[in-house]
Amino acid sequence: MERLNLFEILILTIGISYILIQCWQTITLFRYKSKSINRELNDSELPTVSILVACRNEENNIENCLHSLLALNYPKDKLNIIIGNDQSEDRTLEIAQKFEQEYSFIKAVDIKEDHSGLKAKARVMAQIDRHAIGDFYLITDADVCVNSNWILGLLANMNIKIGVASGTTMVKSAGISGLFQEIDWAYFMGLLNVISYSGVPATAVGNNMIIRKDAYWQTGGYSNIRFSITEDYKLYKEVCDKGWKWNNIMNNDVLGHSEKTKGFIPLLHQRKRWLSGGKELPWYWWVLFAIYGGYYFISILLISMILTGFEINYCLLIIPIFKWLLQSIQIRKIYNHLSQNPPNIINLLIYEFYLTIITISTAIFFILPIKTNWKDRRY
């Protein structure tokens, strides 16, 4: 048997490490179960809840979002919707106020500058949480439309020990870019559920989460939490640090659909924001990131060597083939959990190239000395 050189040993080490992680993800996804909603509950048994929506320059989305909230399968006398307008420069506030005038359980709050040191969504949440009532607070974004059983689905997975939980969000697949963002979000959501289901706290998705009132105020709320560009993870971590359990839920009831990010550069800014906020993640997360990113770098090198005629051990190609097969099985299983039609084999193959490009580009963009641009603000 031909001896492997050091570079081939490196490829083999990183590749096998990644494959082992993929095997763990696949097994966990097939074991995963979420609790179904109790459709026999009477309205009198349901708790009062508040839905908090932070928005900035969302005139094209806020109306659809609110219509989806109005269509929720939940008694309106136990529903409180609070919209925080974050100094929008368009008609967002005007649209929100129109809904406020029509529905007594909707309140529009125009967020003002303050001197708390908070920014962006965290500053909005710190000013609208004082209007929240009920035993549970649900959080979503103005560019998200939720399913009609969203509240019931989240509540069904909140036992008395759980302080915070996150539903599943996918991107609306408009066009080619939307399709691959949809697959990407679904794959990422599946990974979060795998980690949570394995007994390790992951994070909540800020556009699809629920938090118990007692757990929220034990942290002091957003006004007491040090600012983070990823405010959802910060709140999730603070709640877990207080001793509360967590949950990440993956089924059709808790599914939300977000508008896609338009443009490649904004997509990189979005991912840089996620990674910047993840600096406080435990060390084992960064080991996963290193293996994940390392795999795509060696994949690029491997392809480059083949195209330039460099002599390699072609047995190494088994790694990317096996990885793609496992990844495709996982994605189809995630779509199955969400009762959605899975992408076809061709799209799953193209997605592998998309994932390689976006991963390498994100890694490079992350280390560049460029501030994150999000909602027309720099951080």
Pairing of strands 162-166, 208-212: antiparallel
- Span 260-311, pLDDT tens digits: 888 888 888 888 888 776 677 777 778 888 888 888 888 888 777 777 777 7
- Span 18-53, pLDDT tens digits: 999 999 999 999 998 877 766 556 777 899 999 999
The CATH class of the 48-263 domain is alpha beta
**Residue 208 C-beta-side C-alpha neighbours within 13 Å:** 30
- Span 328-372, pLDDT tens digits: 999 999 999 999 999 999 999 999 999 999 998 988 898 888 887
| pTM, 2 dp | 0.89
Q: What is the pLDDT of residue 1?
A: 42
Let me know: does 62 contact 69? Beta carbons within 8 Å.
no
121 pLDDT above the threshold of 90: no
Instruction: Output the DSSP codes for 344-370.
Output: PHHHHHHHHHHHHHHHHHHHHHHHSS-
Query: Among positive and negative, which fits the CA dihedral 241, 37, 25, 363?
Result: negative
Q: What is the pLDDT of residue 331?
A: 96
173 pLDDT above the threshold of 80: no
Region 163-191: mean pLDDT is 89
Query: Could you state, in order of their start, the residue ranges of all structural domains in the chain?
Result: 6-31+280-378, 48-263
Region 246-253: mean pLDDT is 92
Least confident of 91-105, 132-146, 216-230: 216-230
